[in-house]
Structure 1
Amino acid sequence: MLETLRRYTLLESPTGDARRLAALAEALEADAARAGLHTAREAHPTGDHLIWTLPARDVTGPPLLFLSHYDTVWPVGTLAEMPWSVTGDVVRGPGVYDTKAGLVALLTAISQLQGPHPAVRVIVVADEEIGSPTAGDLVRSEAAKSSAVLGLEPPHPGGDLKTGRRGSTRARIAVTGVEAHAALDPDAGASAIDELVDQLIRVRALVSARPVLLNTGTIAGGGRTNVVAGRAHADLGLRFTDPADEEAVLGALRALDPIRPKASVTTELLSHRPTWQPGPAGAALLDRIRVIAAGAGQTLNGHPADGAADTNTTGSLGHPTVDGLAPWGGGAHARTEWVSATGLAARTTLLAAILTDLV
């Protein structure tokens, strides 16, 4: 398993790099086929989503759906600064924890199946790290046909599973102003930058009384100091714990109107993952997995997480969903990223037990 993880890690796969993603996809599909899975793809210019199917063996009913991804946040060349290494239980490298180790564990568990098991569907998304803007329909469609959704994102520290997630939305506020000479005729113009600043103050006030996380991640616009800026935009990251807050804030963003008569303001949702609150379907699924884990000599608990993933989509729709089934480790999206070799073995054992006992 460590050698397989090494192969995947050395195939750097940043979101949006279709050529690099294709190289890793070929390796993943070859291993999936060897494990007995039928492979297919949903093609997209920025990276194909991988769809794997394992027919049932002596078990009837809907399939289990596993959700994972093979893109990472790390640009090509990161291996030079974060090389693959194994020191005791600590395995390092870009993407080992989030979430290539999860793919290794699942494929190994499937390859070891011998007894009866339900049908299995696996969706491996190519753009999860930017909110899965092209995968939402695929995820929703597959979840509607499945008995349970099992996410292969990293777990809580120590290995506990995830039973809910903050809603996560990336939104762009774009402003169009009127260009003019900044000294000779400034009143003929309307500064898109000034308008954007005022709109951002509005948005900050909008969320200040709510338990909403707001991060202004990117601001761009204008061109010259002697020209009134004609265009500007800001990309926002918003996190929600309550669907009502989510609805209110996103509705207000869509309704933003310009302060300056000559300016125009538009809001676009770049990606949207709805709030997934814990519910009875997820709690029942967690209880079943805890029993299965105990039978394998493992102790598991679960609680909600702050980060977002494709399980936001399935959990928010009420489908029985649990996430965090990848091996434990730490440092997601950080230079300290690592995954536990012991955790890789333990999660493989757990996944094999789930595949045969979660019927």
Structure 2
Amino acid sequence: MLSDAETLVRCESFSSDLAAVARSAGVVGILGTRLLGAAPERIVIAGVSHLRWSFGVPKVLLVGHHDTVWPMGSIRNRPWSVAGGRARGPGVLDMKAGLVQMFHALASLPSPEGVCVIVNGDEEVGSTTSRRLIEESTAGCAAAFVLEASADDEGALKTARKGTSRYEIVVHGKAAHAGQEPEKGVNATIEAAHQVLSVAGLGASAAAAADGGPLGAATITPTLLSAGSARNTVPALARLTVDVRAPSAQAQETIDVLVRGMTPRIPGARLEVRGGGQRPPMGQESSAALFALASRIAAEQGQEPLRGVAVGGASDANYTAAMGCPTLDGLGAVGAGAHADSEYVDVTRMVPRARLLAELIARTRR
């Protein structure tokens, strides 16, 4: 398993580099073919390479991704290594070790019959090209298991996820010479500053208006900000990006109304709101029965008691759950530091985690 993880990690697959993602799909395909005894269907959508294996009539859907957030060349500064029971390298936790565990778990069963496997190449950027593929593959399935990393370094499973929305607020002003006649302009930078503070104040309103849900309050965060075209010109244009995490569909809809209802403060300024909902929330009810089953299996296998937690991040589990397919996430590698220089996988947990998944597959595909 470590050798396979090393192979995947050494093949870099930054989401924005489609050629790298294509090479990675080839490497993942070879690994899956070796372990599953069948080549995948390679699906390229808008230049993004995805893989699918389907055996018989699927009752269980396994979902993973092979793209990472790490820019090409990261392997030089963060080379693959195993020391002190920890494997390191770009993307090892999110989620190349999880893919290895998935393939080995399925290969350990007498047959892969009744299982569909999807490994997509754009999860880190929202699964924009693979969403429909994932949603269509839930049809007829009794369970979806998502191989994202555990919620913490103790191996907690992810039993609920917030939904995500992304907005861009475009501020339209009016340009003018900043030295000679600034009074004739409409300063988009100043208007954007007002909107940043307005966005920051929406969180409390959204939390009060929406059902709290198992994840607590929604978060509404101003992130990217840009404005202006020259140092001596009153800015005519500014852009503000807003990140939203919502615990329920109701909260997501309420926030959408609030964001789209924002109004300019400066006379002559105009706001244009782009974007909206992306991933729907994954409620606790989607995972309850599967988490209970996983807990029983872990006890039978002599593993430590499982914990389930709700998290603010989103994944492809949001899509499978929204399709009405019971979903359990966080079944991949155990470790910490995803997307950070400290990223690592606890190698002692890889085999037990694969055994847990194998038994989950066996019991839910019947």
Q: Could you say which residue in structure 2 is the equivalent of 1:301? A: 307
The normalised TM-score by structure 2 is 0.89
- 1:1-359 matches, within 5 Å, as 1-34=1-34, 35-45=36-46, 47-55=48-56, 62-114=58-110, 118-157=113-152, 158-209=154-205, 210=207, 211-269=217-275, 272-279=278-285, 281-298=286-303, 299-358=305-364, 359=366
Deviation at 1:134, TM superposition (A): 2.6
Q: Distance in 1 between matches of 2:70 and 2:38?
A: 28
* Cα distance, 1:154 vs structure 2: 0.7
Kindly tell me: are residues 262 and 42 of structure 1, through their superposed partners in 2, closer, same or farther at Cα, counting changes over 3 Å? farther
Three-state SS of the structure 1 residue aligned to 2:278 is strand
Q: Deviations over 1:201-234 (max 9, x none)?
A: 2222221342222333211221212111122212
Q: Distance in 1 between matches of 2:93 and 2:43?
A: 25
The structural deviation recorded for 1:270 is 6.8
Whether the aligned pair in 1 keeps the contact of 2:138 and 2:323 (CA below 8 Å) is: no
Q: Distance in 2 between matches of 1:326 and 1:234?
A: 35
Amino acid at match of 1:7: T
- The residue number in structure 1 matching 2:212 is none
On the 8 A contact 1:164/1:315 being kept in 2, the answer is no
**Cα deviation per residue 1:39-70 (whole Å; 9 max; x = unaligned)?**
123323452222222236xxxxx421111111
Q: Which runs of 4+ in 1 moved over 6 A?
A: none
Instruction: State the 1:261 CA deviation.
Output: 4.7
Inter-CA distance 52–271: structure 2 relative to 1 (3 Å threshold): farther
The residue type paired with residue 78 of structure 2 is M
Does structure 2 retain, via aligned residues, the 8 Å contact 1:18–1:45? no
Q: Is the 8 A contact 1:16 1:47 kept in 2?
A: no
Deviations, residues 274-311 of structure 1 (Å, cap 9, x unaligned): 222211x5211222222233333324232322321111
What 5-or-longer segments of structure 1 have no aligned partner?
Answer: 57-61
Q: How many residues align?
A: 352
Instruction: Give the root-mean-square deviation of aligned CA atoms.
Output: 2.1
Letter in 2 for 1:150: F
Bigger mean CA deviation after superposition, 183-192 or 223-232 = 183-192
Evaluate the alpha carbon distance shift between residue 70 and residue 355 of structure 1 in structure 2; reply closer, same or farther with a 3 A threshold. Answer: same
Contact 2:202 2:220 in 1 (8 A): no
Letter of the 1:267 counterpart:
V
Aligned-partner Cα distance in 2 for 1:48–1:264: 40
Gaps of 5+ in 2: 208-216
C-alpha spacing 1:123/1:269, structure 2 compared with 1 (3 Å): farther
State how far apart, in whole Å, the 1-side matches of 2:82 and 2:276 are. Answer: 38
Distance in 2, matches of 1:269 and 1:134, equals 17
List per-residue Cα deviations over 1:308-342 (Å, max 9, x = no partner): 11112222444211101102111111111000111
Residue 74 to residue 162, structure 1, CA distance change in 2 (3 Å): same
Distance change (3 Å), C-alpha of 1:231 and 1:145: farther
AA at the equivalent of 1:110: L
Question: C-alpha displacement at 1:29, in angstroms?
Answer: 1.0
* Deviation of 1:97 (Å): 0.6
SS class of match (2:160): strand
Letter in 2 for 1:124: V
Identity %: 34
Q: Is the 8 A contact 1:133 1:271 kept in 2?
A: no
Alignment partners' CA distance in 1, 2:105 and 2:249? 36
Q: Is the Cα–Cα contact under 8 Å of residues 183 and 226 in structure 1 kept in the other structure? A: yes
For 2:70 and 2:200, the matched residues in 1 are separated by 30
Letter of the 1:28 counterpart: V
Matched residue of 2:118: which SS? strand
Letter in 2 for 1:137: R
Counterpart of 1:71 in 2: which secondary structure?
A: coil
1:166 is aligned with what amino acid? K
